[in-house]
Homo-oligomer: A and B are copies of this chain.
Amino acid sequence: MTTFLSTAASAAQQASPRQASPPQVPPRLPVKLPVELALAADRHAELPLTEQIAAQLRDVLTGGRLAAGERLPSTRALAAALGVSRTVVTAAYTQLFAEGWLEGRHGSGTYVAPGAVAPLGAGAAPAPVAAGPGPGPASPAPPLPPVPAATATLAAGPRAAWLQPDPVPPVNLQPGIPWQAGIDPAAWRRAWRHAGTEPVSAQPDPRGHPALREALTGYLRRSRGVCVTADQILATRGVSAGLGLVTAALLRPGDRVGVEEPGYQAARAVFASRGARLVPCRVDGDGLVVDKLPDDLRLVYTTPAHQYPLGGRLPVPRRQALATWARSTGALIVEDDYDGEFRYDVAPLPTLFGLDPDVVIYLGTTSKTLTPTLGAGWLVARPDLIPALAAAAVDLGERVSGPVQHAVTELLASGELERHVRRMRHEYARRRAVMVTALAGRLTGDTAGMHMVMELPPGTATAVAAAARERGVEVATLDRYFGGPPTLEGLMLGYGAADLAAVSRGCQVIAEILAGLPGTRGAGAPR
């Protein structure tokens, strides 16, 4: 059904006698809207109801039909008007909240975030906006979804002896290492058996096997909403290899490249080793600070889904401002979506690439979803950039092993990679909940990926890490992610490499160390 619904109507509805239960929010002065929201929900469409509603609300917002600060209908009212369950509408709101379109608190109304939309009447095309403060990590996130115990046990439980990882420290809380013992051994064996029976290609396509790129179009569409053809995809060995190709193919020596500060060390190393000049770009809790970017960058490297290392998720206003900046300066944006598959509160965020495919090069990898030892990833770009990147791959002898391509194709085509991501998402959500509980109030970093950040008072991080190591708990300190002098001190706490019990044990050790450290308060009680 289709409904024309204004926020005024919504406010009225909330207080109407048709509502069986009393309104949960106090009545507010209705906000007058110049246009009505035309929303529809179609139960017979392929797209789930939540995504239908979220997509239409995005259109409303980009179309300027709601201004910053305006209030949205309550979930209850919109659900009633559309004839769908309130859960569906809440999920759509939560998604837009996470994307930075909306702000506010559950229970006191939902509002359009400042800077998220164009001025009223600006038409359907998104206009450049100043970067405003998004909800950021400080905003309240919905509680973690309940995890089916059986699935989580399957993913985290003991595996066949051959899948036991190498000897590691008793508790490894270093970031960036996925749970490789969770890989299904039968599916893994099938993938490599398949690889061994595929033809040895005498003259392989330097962009990657056609079957792999075809399988990736489906994976990218389903898992990240990236809709491209196989001609826009280049198979890579992972993010670093993709960055190497971008640098070799699209930059000249001495070109200025913006990198997040703090940021991913390997990205800095790859750019620098190929002769680019690094320009550190400031990062805050929301990710890259976009309004401070110099105009003379040839390229900016960013991790919008989950800033590495600080964990922020780039809000929509900054994303729009970043794309506008790139268009006006002629720079390219490289979007490193290294762990965009893992979010625990809402569906994964849309990509920067989806926002403006002309100025963004998108990099994905199996290093976090599956294992870094596989050495497989992908680069997505507008079609005219692919030939130069493929030529650079040929020039530099940069290719993905043929059997690795066959194995990944099999993992994608059989749906195993997506099943594995789902299992791991549940597993990581449980570990993350344990960590949040054990180190209550101390952690920042968005509800994504497989690590969190603990800020510490100046001069303490190295000592805390050393004390933890002394007690068998390996953590990383933040300083290594700075190209220049660190402006922030703290720990990176990963929950990919340690199982649930080890995460709990490791966090307990850290809480005890912090309790004994002068100048820091002890870890709080479980929330």
Interface residues of A (CB under 8 A from B): 162-166, 168, 177, 180-181, 183, 188-193, 195-204, 237-241, 244, 247-248, 253, 265-266, 269-270, 273-275, 371-376, 395-404, 407, 497
Contacts and interface: CB of A to CB of B under 8 A. Distances in A.
Nearest to A397: B240
B240 A396 contact: yes
B395 A201 contact: no
Nearest to A185: B197
Contact of A274 (B239, B266, B273, B371): B273
Contacts of A373: 200-201, 204, 399, 401-403
B402 A374 contact: yes
A244 B269 CA distance: 13
A164 B201 CA distance: 8
Contact of A403 (B177, B248, B374): B374
A248 B266 CA distance: 13
30 contacts: A163-B200, A164-B199, A165-B199, A165-B201, A165-B202, A166-B201, A168-B202, A189-B196, A189-B197, A192-B192, A192-B195, A192-B403, A195-B196, A195-B403, A201-B373, A237-B397, A239-B397, A240-B398, A247-B273, A265-B395, A266-B396, A269-B395, A274-B274, A274-B275, A373-B399, A373-B401, A373-B402, A374-B403, A375-B400, A403-B404
Given A401-B375, A401-B401, A396 B270 contact: yes
A397 B270 contact: yes
A373 B165 CA distance: 28
B241 A397 contact: yes
Contacts of A397: 237-241, 266, 270
Given A165-B202, A188-B196, 16 more contacts: A162-B197, A166-B201, A166-B202, A180-B202, A192-B403, A196-B196, A253-B275, A269-B396, A270-B396, A273-B275, A274-B274, A274-B275, A373-B402, A375-B402, A403-B403, A403-B407
Contacts of A203: 165-166, 168, 177
How many copies of this kind of chain does the complex include? Answer: 2
Contacts of A237: 397, 401
A234 to B, nearest CB: 16
A498 to B, nearest CB: 11
Contact of A199 (B162, B196, B248): B162
Contacts of A497: 202
B200 A273 contact: no
A200 B188 contact: yes
A200 B165 contact: yes
Nearest to A162: B199
A274 B195 CA distance: 33
A20 to B, nearest CB: 54
Contacts of A238: 397
A200 B177 CA distance: 13
A396 B201 CA distance: 28
B273 A396 contact: yes
Contacts of A162: 197-199
Nearest to A239: B397
Closest 4 pairs between A and B when the two form their complex, measured CB to CB: A240-B397, A192-B196, A165-B202, A373-B402
Nearest to A373: B402
A240 to B, nearest CB: 3
A398 B270 CA distance: 10
A135 to B, nearest CB: 32
Contacts of A253: 275
A270 B269 CA distance: 16
Contact of A404 (B197, B398, B401): B401
A168 B202 CA distance: 8
Nearest to A240: B397
Contacts of A192: 192-193, 195-196, 403
A202 B189 contact: no
A373 B237 CA distance: 13
A193 to B, nearest CB: 6
Contacts of A168: 202-203
A192 B194 CA distance: 9
A238 to B, nearest CB: 6
Nearest to A367: B397
Contacts of A165: 199-203
A241 B375 CA distance: 14
A169 to B, nearest CB: 10
Nearest to A203: B166
A92 B177 CA distance: 54
